Amino acid sequence: MNVLVIGAGGREHALTWKIKQSSKCNDLYVAPGNAGTAAIASNLNIGVNDFELLGQAVIEKKIDLVIVGPEEPLVRGIRNYFASHDQLRGVLMVGPDQVGAQLEGSKDFSKDFMVRNGVPTAGSLTVSKDNLVEGIEFLKKVEAPYVLKADGLAAGKGVIITSDINEAESTLKEMLDGQFGAASQKVLIEEYLHGIELSVFVLTDGKSYMTLPEAKDYKRIGEGDTGPNTGGMGAVSPVAFADDAFMARVDEKVIQPTVRGLQSDGIDFIGFLFIGLMNVDGEPVVIEYNVRMGDPETEVVLPRISSDFLSHLAAAAKRELGEETLQIVDETATTVVAVAEGYPGSYEKGRVMTGLDQHFEGVVFHAGTKLEGQDTVTNGGRVLASTGMGPDIQTALNQSYANLKSIDWPGINFRKDIGQDLLNL
């Protein structure tokens, strides 16, 4: 089977790495990829939203299966584009259509979906300029802290949490005035959930589903969870508090009603559902859906899967997922993300990296990297994700950090405390 992975991050390197292990994999392409994917597959220099060129490449390279990594091409309708073309219609794809992608692309749409289908979620009100007065009344009714969410995609920056009611009011007005452009024409005011956060991953063909290993993500730039939010600075899988009893609650209360809801709403969903949820006193409450895998969670989820992941992906795309059996390794995986100086603020690209061509324990996944002549240089904010694995979290962390000791570039930065909160649980 010839496969194309769309995307350029650590998630896509991990997907490519896992797919390559399958005996069913023939030619493997990544668009646009990074220096890490170039070493194990063929990179195609095509952007993730350039549907026309992606479609041409799929025809030319005789690609059978397309895996869409990031959300943007899904929200822009890459599946619909393929479905509308005679030569592309038969190509298998993992990734939902434009309606399904609204589960991530519009927080108002996904909230409505959850409420309608009985999926537990925080109480909320959607506010636009037309009902601003009602919005301000709602803020006064709910308890601090106040959670304000831009309805649309805002590059991970669209959620603002404050304990100050005056700041909440002024932020609400600023958001509606276009702080995040069209993405904040509507804003959700949401009740604050107190609990521990967990990322749950489901692969579904719209009828059957497979629950992949869960993970915890470290979102803030600074140690001790301080400073601004990032795309993710590290991840761990499994997560101690997500024991069998809790995951059974997640299955019954969240995953089953979600998949039933897709069917009853007539949403034809083939792809990943990444469910961000809070464990509130032992009960799962959904914070958000994403319609793709998480990054850097993928870098700890996939190394724990021992069954043929390409086979699962192809079966999902053919709506035959019910025939597949997932196998998980009973080990812990950790990943530590090394970032550019200045990230998540402004940062420079093009810094020459050293220490990459040696033997690593675990896997060093590339995120923002590219080849420049003989050199590998930084090409993004999150540059590498160093994944370690072992019988316990400490062994895995030792590998993740040992790899980073010998890698360098000017301004390299990473958190030293990934997984520390889970060590003694």
Identify the bridge partners of residue 413 per DSSP, sorted by sequence position.
339
Distance of alpha carbon 68 from alpha carbon 397, whole angstroms = 29
Residue 290: which of ligand AMP, ligand GLY, none does it interact with, CB under 5 to 8 A by kind? ligand GLY
Neighbours of 220 (CB within 10 A): 16
- Complex with ligand AMP: residue 172 or 287, whichever CB lies closer: 287
Residue span binding ligand GLY (CB under 6 A) among the ranges 118-126, 157-165, 257-265, 294-302: 294-302
Distance of alpha carbon 127 from alpha carbon 423, whole angstroms = 42
Exposed, middle or buried, 219 (CB in 10 Å: 0-12/13-18/19+)?
middle
Identify the bridge partners of residue 378 per DSSP, sorted by sequence position.
369
Q: Given candidates 10, 95, 158, 294, which one binds ligand GLY under the rule CB under 6 A?
A: 294
Residue 38 in contact with ligand AMP, rule: CB under 6 A: no
Site string for ligand AMP, 150-189 (x = CB under 6 A): ---------x------------------------------
- Complex with ligand AMP: residue 156 or 391, whichever CB lies closer: 156
Residue 9 in contact with ligand GLY, rule: CB under 6 A: no
Residue 294: which of ligand AMP, ligand GLY, none does it interact with, CB under 5 to 8 A by kind? ligand GLY
Residue 125 in contact with ligand AMP, rule: CB under 6 A: no
DSSP label at residue 303: G
- What's the Cα-to-Cα distance from 246 to each of 193, 198, 242, 282, rounded to whole Å? 17, 11, 6, 7
**How many residues contact ligand AMP, by CB under 6 A?**
10
Residue 147: which of ligand AMP, ligand GLY, none does it interact with, CB under 5 to 8 A by kind? ligand AMP
Distance of alpha carbon 2 from alpha carbon 45, whole angstroms = 18
Helix/strand/coil percentages in the chain, nearest 5: 35, 25, 40
Please list every residue from 231 through 270 that binds ligand GLY, using CB under 6 A: 231-232
For 80-85, the CB contacts below 8 A with 24+ separation are 81/51, 81/55, 82/51, 82/55, 82/58, 85/55
Residue 104 in contact with ligand GLY, rule: CB under 6 A: no
State the minimum distance, in angstroms, from the CB of residue 288 to ligand AMP: 4
- What's the Cα-to-Cα distance from 249 to each of 243, 256, 283, 322, rounded to whole Å? 10, 10, 7, 21
Residue 280 in contact with ligand AMP, rule: CB under 6 A: no
Residue 193 in contact with ligand AMP, rule: CB under 6 A: yes
Residue 39: which of ligand AMP, ligand GLY, none does it interact with, CB under 5 to 8 A by kind? none
Distance of alpha carbon 239 from alpha carbon 241, whole angstroms = 6
Site string for ligand AMP, 285-324 (x = CB under 6 A): --xx------------------------------------
Residue 335: which of ligand GLY, ligand AMP, none does it interact with, CB under 5 to 8 A by kind? none
Binding stretches for ligand AMP (CB under 6 A): 122, 147, 159, 190, 192-193, 197, 276, 287-288
